[in-house]
Amino acid sequence: MKLFRWLASAVVILLLAGCATGNGIMPFFPTPTPLPPPQVGITRAPDATPALTAFLDALKNNDYAAMYTVLDNASQAIITAEDFATRYREALNTLSASSLDFEVGAATTSPVAAQIPFRVIYHSTLAGDIARDFTARLGLEDGQWRLAWDESLILPELAGGNRIVLDCRAPARGDIYDRAGESLVTETEAVALGVDTSTVNFDRLFDLTYELWRLTGVNPESLSNQIVASGRGWYIPVGTTSREEGERLLSMEFSGLVTNPYTSRYYANSGTASQTIGYTLSIFPEDLDRYKRDGYCGNERVGQIGVEKAEEDFLAGEHGGTLYIADPQGQIIANLAQKEEKPSSDVYLTLDKNLQNYAEQALAGFTGAVVVIERDTGRVLALASSPGFDPNLFDSNNFNNGYMVNNLLNDAERPMYNRATQGQYPLGSVFKVITFSAGLESGLFLPETTYDCQYDFTEIQGQVLHDWTWDHCQSRVRNGLFCDTSDSVPSGLLTLSEGLMRSCNPWFYHIGLDLYRNNRSGDIAAMSQAFGLGAPTGIVGVEEEPGQILIPGSELEATNQAIGQGDVLVTPLQVARFMAAIGNGGTLYRPKLIEKIVDVNGNVIESFQPEVVGTLPIQPDRLKALQDAMINVIFNTRGTANFRLVRQTSFNFPAAGKTGTAESNIQGLPHAWFAGYTYGTYNGKPDIAVAVIVEYQGEGSDYGAPIFNRILETYYLGRPQRLYWFESAFGITRTPTPLGGIPTRTPRP
C-alpha cells in the first residue's frame, strides 16, 4: 500500500512538472523524467529556467552582450563576444528575422546540471514564421547557471559549421509622378554636365550659360563670370539632365560643354521639389541590420527625407528570395524557404510640376519658400524651398558626385532643409488676420470700431512702440527727404477693417493690450491654435515642424504677439492652410501631398481624399468682414499691396491677401511675407491659397506680393507674364547671386 501511494505521488509530480512552461502555455516538449525526492541534508540546486529566459529575452532585444554573459566558460573560450554577436547578427539578418518569440519548457535539474527544452519562432519577412525546438544544457559555475552554447542553438541546421545562405531578389524601385502623370523621378539615362574652360568658345558663352540655366537653374551671369575668372585648364561642374530633357542642349554642340552619361534613378529638372521628394542612398552600415530584418538584400538604395523616405514601402516593393543551408564547403544541402518578390508601386503626388518649377524659379536668388494649396480640398500643388539642390548628385555614378556633394552637405544656406514645411518664422503683419478675428470674437471690437493710427503707440507705461509708417519716415529723413508720401505719414483715423487694410501696428497693439487687460490674455493664442498654428499640420510624405504659439505673460508680450512678433513662430505650410480656410468659408483641411498610389497592374491602392480637421471659430459676418478687408489690401488704393500688385502690374486676379514684414532676432533686413487666396472661378481652375516668404530681404509688399502675383500668373495662365521690378529676366535678379554649390575652381582631370 505504501509503495502504491508513493507511485501515485510520483505520477502527480510528473504531471504537474509537465504542465509548467516559461510563459504559462501548454507544453509541446516531451515530459521530462522526474528527479527522486531530495535526501535529508542535501540542498536542491536553484532553478535554471531564469538563466535561459534571460538569454532568450536578450536575444529578442538583440542584446548580444547580455547573451554572452550567460555562456559557460568553455563556450566563451571557443568564441569571443564580438564573434558571438556577429554570428547571431548575420544569421538573423540572413533570415530577415524582423522579430522573434520563444517558449520555455520545464527544466530537468540535477545538483550541478540542467536541461531545458525551448522553442524559438523567428518571424521572417521573407519566409514567414520559422519555428525550431532546442534543448539547452546548463551547468553551475560559481553558483550561477551558465549555458553551453554552439551554433545549433541558432538553428539546429547550423550544427557542424553549416551556414544560412540567402539568394535575395529586389524589385525595381517605383517611379514618382506629379498629379497629371508628369515624371518627377524615374530610371533613365542621365547626363552629368560641366564646363571645360580650356575649350570654351567665348563667342557662344552667353548661349551656353543660358541653356545650362534653363536645364539646371544655375545663374547664367554667375556661371559666365566664373568661367572667365577661372582661366584655362579648369573643370566646372554644373548639374545634371536627362537625355530627354537635355536634347536641345546636347544637340547644340557647344565647345567646352562636358557631358558624362550614366544610367540612374533620375530626378527631373535637376531636382524638382528636391526637399519634398528627397533622394536615395545606399544603406548606411549602422542601419544595415534593420533593413535586412525587414527583408532587404542590403545593397539597395533607400529613401532619405521626403516622399522617397515616407513612401519607401510602396516604392521599394516586397523583396523576395530563397533561404538555403550550405555546408562548410559552400554546397547547398537544404532549402529552408522561398518567397517571390512583389513589384513596387508608383507614387503620384498632388504637385503640379509646371507650377512647382515656376514657383522655384520665382524664388531664384532668394532664400525662402512658396506653398500653394488647393483652397477647397487641401491638395498641395507646390512646395518650393530656396535654395534647392540636385538629388542626382548622390549617385556615385554621376561624374559630378565627387566635385559637388561635399559642397552641398556643407553649404551654410542649408539647401536640403525644407523651408516650406520646416522653416519656423515670425509671421509679422500677416498674423494680424488672427488678431483681427480674436478681437471681433471677443465682443470688444466691431469691424466699424475706430482707432487713430499715428506713428507712436504709448498705451504701455514707459514703452513707445512704432507704426511701420514711422520707419518709412525715418528712412526718408536719413536720405534728406520729407515725410510727405502716403507710406511715410500716419494713416489717421481707421476702422478695424481699414486698420487691417493699412496694416496699422498701433491698432493691433491696442487689440492685444485690451484683450490682456480684460483677462483675455489667451484669446489670440487660442485663435491661433484654431487656425492650425503651434502644431504640425499632419501632412504625410514630408517632414514638418510645429511652430510656436504661447500665451503672453506681460503687456509688452501681448502687443508683440498681436502683430506676429515676439514668440510667434509659424511655417509657410501652416500659413497657406489657414489662408485657404479664410477663403473657403472657414474649413481647415489637412494638407495632402499624395494623390494616389498605383500598383504594377494599374490598380489604385490609395487615392486622395479631402480631410476636414477643423473649422475657424469665427461668425460668418465677422469672417466676411475679414475677407473684405483682405480684398482691400490688394484693390483699395490705400492697401499695402496695391502699389506693387495693381498699380505696377495691372493685377486682375480675384484675390485677397495680407502683407507681412517680420523682424528676425538676427540682425539684418526683415523677412518679407505675402499670403492670400483666390475667390471665384478664373480660367476654369479651382481656387488656391498661397504663402510666400523671402528671408532677410525687406518688406512683404516689395518682395512677397510680386512673387504671389507670379504664382497666380503661372497657375492660371501656364507661365509668368511680367518681370518683377527686381528682375533682369525671369528667374534672374538684377544683382547676380553666387553660384551656390559649385567649387570656385576644379582642375580639369
189-193, 325-329, 336-340, 541-545 — which is least confidently predicted? 336-340
Q: DSSP per residue over 631-685, as a string?
A: HHHHHSTTSTTHIIIIITT---S-EEEEEEEE--SSSSSPEEEEEEEE-S-BTTB
Cα(494)–Cα(386) distance, rounded to whole angstroms? 38
Q: Give the CATH number of the domain where residue 68 resides.
A: 3.10.450.100
Question: Whole-angstrom Cα distance, residue 692 to residue 723?
Answer: 17
Q: Which of 480, 448, 483, 479 is nearest to 467 (CA)?
A: 483
Give domain status of residue 31, yes or no.
yes
SS (H, E, C) 126-164: CCEEEEEEEEEEEEEECCEEEEECCHHHCCHHHHHHCEE
Please, which pLDDT band fits residue 734 given cuts at 50, 70 and 90?
Answer: low
Q: Is residue 85 part of a domain?
A: yes
Give the Cα separation of 179 and 54 in Å (integer). Answer: 53
CA distance 249 to 262: 17
**Alpha-carbon gap, residue 211 to 538, rounded angstroms:** 40
Looking at the predicted structure, is the pLDDT value of residue 346 above 60? yes
C-beta neighbour count of 468 within 10 angstroms: 22
Report the DSSP beta bridge partners of residue 236. 195
Find out whether 166 and 152 touch, Cβ atoms under 8 Å: no
- Domain containing 12 equals 2-35+46-152
Q: Give a yes or no: residue 84 inside a domain.
A: yes
* Of 418, 432, 430, 658, residue with least CA distance to 539: 418
φ and ψ of 708, to 5 deg? -55, -45
Could you give the number of structural domains in the chain? 1
216 in a domain, yes or no? no
Residue carrying C-alpha cell 488676420: 433
Is residue 343 assigned to a domain?
no
Length of the chain, in residues: 749
Identify whether the C-beta of residue 741 lies closer than 8 Å to the C-beta of residue 226.
no
Enumerate helices (H) and strands (E) in the chain, giving the number of each: 25, 30
Task: Give the confidence band of 37 by pLDDT, cuts at 50, 70, 90.
Answer: low
pLDDT at 9 over 50: no
Whether the per-residue pLDDT at 419 is higher than 70: the answer is: yes
pLDDT at 453 over 60: yes
- 306 belongs to a structural domain: no
Specify if 144 maps to a domain.
Answer: yes
For 186-245, the pLDDT digits (tens) are: 999 999 999 999 999 999 999 999 999 999 989 999 999 999 999 888 999 999 999 999
> Is 640 within a domain?
no
pTM confidence score: 0.87
Is the predicted pLDDT of residue 451 greater than 80, yes or no? yes
Give residue 23's pLDDT: 38
**Rounded Cα–Cα distance for residues 497 and 490 (Å):** 16
pLDDT higher than 60, residue 48: yes
The string of DSSP letters for 537-567 reads: ---SSS-----B-----SHHHHHHHHTT-TT
Strand-pairing partners, residue 604, are 598
Question: Taking all residues of the chain, what is their mean pLDDT, rounded to a whole number?
Answer: 91
Whether the CB-CB separation of 633 and 501 falls below 8 Å is answered with yes
Q: Alpha carbon 727 to chain centroid distance?
A: 32
- pLDDT bracket for residue 655 (50, 70, 90): very high
176: enclosing H helix or E strand: strand 176-177
Spell out the SS3 assignment of 636-650: CCCCCCHHHHHHCCC
pLDDT at 589: 98
H or E element, residue 453: strand 450-453
